[in-house]
Structure 1
Amino acid sequence: MSTFPGSPKLLQGTLMTLALPSKKVISTISFQYNPETVSRTLQIQATQNEGGARSEALRLKGAPAQTLKFDLEIDATDDLEKADRTAVKLGIYQQLSALEDLIYPDVEQVKKNISNLGKGMLEVIPTEAPLTLLIWGKQRKLPVRITDFSVTEEAYDINLNPIRAKVSLGLRVLTYDDLPTSHQGSQLFLNYHQNLEKLGRK
């Protein structure tokens, strides 16, 4: 990357989690390296035209179901060369833990559920996860759910801490059809939709 003083600053892709309804930021994970490619698939949400009614042929039930797939590279080499304390002690275990934590329920809620089960409660309500956002440039701030998560650890230090890895992520974009209208994620997707339409119809 150019170090020329006038060169534009490279934006880093980010995964962010928010506690609702307070909107307090729980975690911010900026990608060490932006993925070279992002695969996006959009499944059209058309009405079922089983009866053959011509008036239904062009109707849409809502926004398309969008999925994204990309790989993240995490490497501690530079930090190890600088003798960074966290890298020397843990390698990239902290970065991997931050990503993996996105797909786990809150541990305090898990403890509470276990306690309730021990007291004879027959039904425990599944824990609601924080709102996860994918921030990819200025035009895309999307509420998402992680649907696929795989890690290939490629190198380790002498203590078997991973020092280089590839994380493959699959995300499903959450729309106003998935969330209550008052939900922050619903409003964020509506903003994205409005901006997309504005840009597409210029």
Structure 2
Amino acid sequence: MSTPFSPRLIKGGLVLVDPDTAQVQRVIALQYNAESLRRELKGQESGEAGTDRAEPTRFKGVALETISFEADLDATDQLEFPDQHASAVAHGLAPQIALLESLSQPSSAQLRKVNSQASSGMLEIAPMLAPLLLLVWGAGRVIPVKLASFSVTEQAFDPALNPIHAKASFGLRVLTVDDLGFASKGGALFMSHLQNREQLAAKAQPVSLATLGVTGI
């Protein structure tokens, strides 16, 4: 049971930001924080164009980072209080799932606009602009990302076959200044994220060569 001395639960989640104005468009909080977060960093090697020869002491750019996690969705608690959660009673988890799915594709309005432009004979149609997506995992990790993959397993249903329990899987690619540029809001957020990691690295306890069983290099 929560007490006045219990720590406030911080939820992880996703934030949609206008890429031009940096205005927050929508906040999506995870119902339950993921039990694990998998991060993979792949360094970019610098080498001669068209060859496999690498320059081992040079960086080509920032590492390519991917993040994956699973999140549980459950409408059971809401269904216990139907008067307070009419949407859950009528649709189960379908609205939450539809919202997450919308992160991976353009809207119907955008598709209609592109079709209209194509029908009018426009020779060049600009790619459809998506909001800037941020993964927020505590105050120290606000990271611009792109949704590379999303899957959902609907595991239980109400009598109308609305999903009431589901597991969502996210695959994210971190967007860097190489993708976003230094002058953009996303680029500034990535640089802040990188600097936070550097500050954490500086706090790691140093060790001597003797710890590794050698006296010199």
| TM-score category, normalised to shorter length | over 0.9
The equivalent residue for 2:188 is 187
| Uncovered stretches (5+) of structure 1, i.e. residues with no partner | none
The equivalent residue for 2:211 is none
Point out 4+ residue stretches in structure 1 off by more than 6 angstroms: none
Report the secondary structure of 1:73's partner residue: strand
The equivalent residue for 1:7 is 6
In the alignment, the residues of structure 2 paired with residue 122 and residue 73 of structure 1 have an alpha-carbon distance, to the nearest angstrom, of 45
User: Does the alignment pair 1:64 with 2:96?
Assistant: no
CA shift, 1:48, in A, is 2.1
Query: Quick check: 1:80–1:87 contact (8 Å CA) kept in 2?
Result: yes
Indicate the structure (1 or 2) with the bigger Cα radius of gyration.
2
> Per-residue CA shift, 1:78-131, capped at 9, x if unaligned?
000011111001101111111111112133222111111111223322202110
In the alignment, the residues of structure 2 paired with residue 175 and residue 186 of structure 1 have an alpha-carbon distance, to the nearest angstrom, of 6
User: Does the alignment pair 1:37 with 2:36?
Assistant: yes
> Per-residue CA shift, 1:141-198, capped at 9, x if unaligned?
0000011111100111111111111111100000111112222111100011112112
In the alignment, the residues of structure 2 paired with residue 68 and residue 44 of structure 1 have an alpha-carbon distance, to the nearest angstrom, of 15
The 3 A distance-change label for structure 1 pair 158 and 192 is same
Amino acid at match of 2:71: L
User: Does the alignment pair 1:18 with 2:17?
Assistant: yes
The equivalent residue for 1:97 is 98
How many residues are paired up? 199
TM-score by length of 1: 0.92
Query: Quick check: 1:19–1:130 contact (8 Å CA) kept in 2?
Result: yes
Amino acid at match of 2:201: G
CA shift, 1:33, in A, is 0.3
In the alignment, the residues of structure 1 paired with residue 135 and residue 72 of structure 2 have an alpha-carbon distance, to the nearest angstrom, of 17
Query: Quick check: 1:106–1:129 contact (8 Å CA) kept in 2?
Result: no
Query: Quick check: 2:19–2:186 contact (8 Å CA) kept in 1?
Result: no
In the alignment, the residues of structure 1 paired with residue 164 and residue 53 of structure 2 have an alpha-carbon distance, to the nearest angstrom, of 58
The equivalent residue for 2:198 is 197
> Per-residue CA shift, 1:50-98, capped at 9, x if unaligned?
6968xx4211122211101111110000000011111001101111111
| Uncovered stretches (5+) of structure 2, i.e. residues with no partner | 204-217
Query: Quick check: 2:71–2:168 contact (8 Å CA) kept in 1?
Result: yes
Amino acid at match of 1:40: R
In the alignment, the residues of structure 1 paired with residue 45 and residue 23 of structure 2 have an alpha-carbon distance, to the nearest angstrom, of 36
In the alignment, the residues of structure 1 paired with residue 112 and residue 24 of structure 2 have an alpha-carbon distance, to the nearest angstrom, of 23
In the alignment, the residues of structure 2 paired with residue 181 and residue 111 of structure 1 have an alpha-carbon distance, to the nearest angstrom, of 33
The equivalent residue for 1:73 is 72
Amino acid at match of 2:131: P
The equivalent residue for 2:212 is none
Report the secondary structure of 2:58's partner residue: coil
